A and B are shown apart, each in its own frame.
Chain A
Amino acid sequence: MALSTHTTSTGWDSVLKACNKVNEHILGFLLPSIHSAPPFFTQQPNPATEAIVIEQWTKLILSYARHRNLFYLRVEDAETGGDWDEVLRNDRINRRLPPAHLSSILAGMVAKNVASYEPAKQTRSVLLYWRLPEEWAEVLHQWASTTGQMNTIMTFYEITDPPVNSPLTNIPLPLLRKAITILAKSNRAQIIAIADGEGVRFFTPAK
């Protein structure tokens, strides 16, 4: 292992940091140094250690999802190539996150309420909350008011696929519906049944 031979009194993590700086320029996402430590990919039998591992993975997954605007993570992503390869694998140190470990990380994330199983009643796929539904509600209302969509009826499609890219582009419908429900509770939006499905009308909050 090249890693250990290069390591001297300066410690291994400075080397890893240097590697990551290079990485950052190529891929545009700065991976944490821990991502280059092989034990990070192993499910640690010690519960205290594993808690830290899950915490760090949660952080890594959410920040990567935010960076790439990804909403879903599936256990299968650990096996098949795709959007998540960059974090779930590290070819330089020949390590990958085993599906079983990913599954337990997902469970940890759902427990911490930074993700939810979507669809419900299964544990293979989660919807990631790199913004909480409450935060999405704010973003949505902000966007509606800045683009002058108050008091008009909009279809969900107009929100998820607007002509001009917005923070809400490609937002999954379950998440959008959650955000609208939160707005509806404070009387800032209303779900309306229209001819081809559902629509929403935004209101300016009463001052």
Chain B
Amino acid sequence: MSLKRFSQSIDGTIPIQALLYDDEELLGSQDNVGIYDGQQKSPRHQSGTAYITSHRLFYVDGPKPDSCSFSIDLSHVSRTDYYAGLFTSSPKVTLYLAGDVSSESNDEHAPSIWECQVCGNHNSPGFSPSAARICGLCGVPRDAADDSTEGSSAPHLSSSLPASGFAGPVQRSSKDPVPCPACTFLNHPSLRTCELCETDLPRRPSRRELQSAPVSRPHSPDNDEEGDPANMLIKVSFRKGGDKAIYGALKTSLNGKVWESKAATVDRGGGNRSVGISGILRTVENSVQERETSMHDALQDLEALMVKAKDMVNLAAELNYKLTAASSTNDEPEEATFIRSSLTQLGLHIDNAPVTQDMTKDERRWHEELARELAKVLQAGLMRDKGIVALDEVWGGWNRARGVALIPPATFLQVIPLLPQYTTPQVSTRKFVSGLTVLHTPPYSASAFSARLAGFLVMHGSRTTLEIALEMELDMEGSNEAGMSVSLCKEMVEDCEREGGVCRDDVGQCAIVGGGGVGVEVRWWPNLFVGYVWDGQSEEDD
């Protein structure tokens, strides 16, 4: 019974982090727990995960997370007990619950944006109930705003409301029966529908009336159990251990009383700061300043990074210069060659400072300059021993070489078409069906590659894509080019197939032994079918 009264059902399919208030903190979790409602096992909550946060205890049911999960506000916990377990009995943590959950406080849990009646600030949902009661900008309590418009007495409000986070529900727990509008049965105040006829009960009367109303013993039978402290508890049973950690987290949470202190802080703040327009203005000013500072910090990091990159480029240039000076006098030592090649591989091999837009005024000339620079980068490093290179790799390599004056992709794409004018052998662009774009030297143009591939296959018999990627360039007379990447090779060969230069032998599909579909590679053949003349049984043979 206590479980039903104090818990609120939640949708356990939502990750727990999404259920937390903005100012709530997850302290610990443990799976394989069961729940006791009072002294009895609660049959619907026997296998799930418990989460302790700074404000609440969550239980997310394992089998039925959407219907059987719940949360309990830790503000209702009056004390706790720890039982270490004995033989087959699991360790348990007992939570004694106190206080009243009025329908009013339940409503406040519903997250909603509310507008402060004093300063007009829109307060976002997601704060814990205690924090949500106070406007984030001017610190005026939400209830106060409501009540004051109704014309209630001011002294009463100021004393009770700012601390309402915890004190409120206790104060409101007067045992005032609510008469049913339909059958006149006097219902327990925490009920929302009539116990007899299930008619919706009217909302509880305002607090002021409550205080003046005579306190009489409630008539709902439910109340008898409520008075029994033995039943006002729930137990969390740890079937697979983890009890100590959770109990520790629970203790921390209960000692911290975040739900109370938050309200208290705001209250104290209200006393110290100058209230009114100037207070609001100061709050706004503070938040703006805060934002500015963090933004400034972030940009500073970026600037530091740029300075470092610039240093790196300068260092590379210096090294290069020294090496050149040294090598002109005598033979280049092995180390120098190594450093030079490392620099090239890092993309830091660039003769002079990168071209930037402020050097040239005309956009067209700027693009031409860039194309000239890119051509140098390509021939010095990226394409020195490769005939074909993917566009993304070029962009990355170029920007690495440029150091700090990075080229945006849009500019890069505008420069690419100018490239053939500045490169020997000509570097042109080619786009595959898959959308992959590459830069390539003449031997890798569609027609040239098709011809070379067909010739290669005729000479060496059928090959898989991998074998083509590895062997084809080695085969070229006087070529010092390394093999191309397998995926690139696949694109090229398939392109060649589309043009009818080669045909495939799908070993996986067609082999009698060792087939079996996936994993067996396609073998490529020269296109045997073009020009094939029937040389089998002729009709005259019959």
Q: State the A residues within 8 Å of B (CB).
A: 1, 3-5, 7, 12-13, 17, 20, 29-35, 37-46, 48-49, 52-53, 56, 59-60, 63-64, 66-67, 89, 91, 94-98, 101
> B416-451 vs A: 1/0 string, CB under 8 Å?
000000000000000000000000000000000000
Report whether over half of chain A's contact residues are helix, strand or loop; otherwise say mixed: helix
Interface residue from A40, A64, A95 paired with B511 (Cβ < 8 Å): A95
What are 27 A-B contacts with C-beta separation under 8 Å? A1-B461, A3-B461, A4-B462, A12-B461, A20-B536, A31-B536, A32-B534, A38-B510, A39-B525, A39-B528, A41-B505, A42-B503, A44-B503, A44-B529, A45-B498, A46-B497, A46-B503, A48-B500, A49-B500, A52-B532, A53-B529, A64-B537, A67-B541, A67-B542, A91-B512, A94-B514, A95-B511
Q: What distance in Å separates the Cβ of A56 from its nearest Cβ neighbour in chain B? A: 7
Question: Does residue B527 face the partner (Cβ distance < 8 Å to A)?
Answer: yes
Whether A63 contacts B536 by the Cβ 8 Å rule is yes
Instruction: Please give me the residue from chain B that is nearest to A35 by CB atom.
Output: B536
Question: 6 shortest A-B CB distances, which residue pairs?
Answer: A4-B461, A32-B536, A38-B505, A52-B529, A42-B506, A41-B510
- The verdict on A38 contacting B539 (CB below 8 Å), with A94-B511, A95-B510, A97-B510 known, is no
Q: A residues within 8 A CB of B460?
A: 4
Given the complex of chains A and B, what is the CA–CA distance between A42 and B510 in angstroms? 7
Interface residue from A17, A33, A42 paired with B504 (Cβ < 8 Å): A42
Q: A residues within 8 A CB of B504?
A: 39, 42, 44-45
Please report the total number of B residues contacting A with Cβ < 8 Å. Answer: 33
Instruction: Please give me the residue from chain B that is nearest to A60 by CB atom.
Output: B536
Q: B residues within 8 A CB of A37?
A: 525, 528
Q: What distance in Å separates the Cβ of B514 from its nearest Cβ neighbour in chain A? A: 7
Whether A56 contacts B462 by the Cβ 8 Å rule is no
- The verdict on A39 contacting B511 (CB below 8 Å), with A49-B500, A66-B542 known, is no
Whether B525 contacts A38 by the Cβ 8 Å rule is yes
Report whether over half of chain B's contact residues are helix, strand or loop; otherwise say mixed: loop
Which of A32, A49, A52, A95 neighbours the largest number of chain B CB atoms within 10 Å of its CB? A49
Q: B residues within 8 A CB of A1?
A: 461-462
Question: Does residue B513 face the partner (Cβ distance < 8 Å to A)?
Answer: yes
Given the complex of chains A and B, what is the CA–CA distance between A38 and B497 in angstroms? 16
Q: A residues within 8 A CB of B536?
A: 20, 30-33, 35, 59-60, 63
Which of B507, B513, B532, B538 neighbours the largest number of chain A CB atoms within 10 Å of its CB? B532
Q: State the B residues within 8 Å of A (CB).
A: 460-462, 497-500, 503-507, 509-514, 523, 525, 527-530, 532, 534-539, 541-542
Whether A98 contacts B510 by the Cβ 8 Å rule is yes
Whether B537 contacts A30 by the Cβ 8 Å rule is yes
Given the complex of chains A and B, what is the CA–CA distance between A41 and B507 in angstroms? 9
Given the complex of chains A and B, what is the CA–CA distance between A53 and B541 in angstroms? 23
Whether B505 contacts A94 by the Cβ 8 Å rule is no
Q: A residues within 8 A CB of B505?
A: 38-39, 41-42, 95
Whether B509 contacts A94 by the Cβ 8 Å rule is no
Q: What distance in Å separates the Cβ of A37 from its nearest Cβ neighbour in chain B? A: 5
Whether B498 contacts A46 by the Cβ 8 Å rule is yes
Q: A3-B461, A37-B525 are in contact. List 6 more A-B contacts (CB 8 A).
A: A1-B461, A38-B505, A38-B525, A43-B509, A52-B529, A98-B509
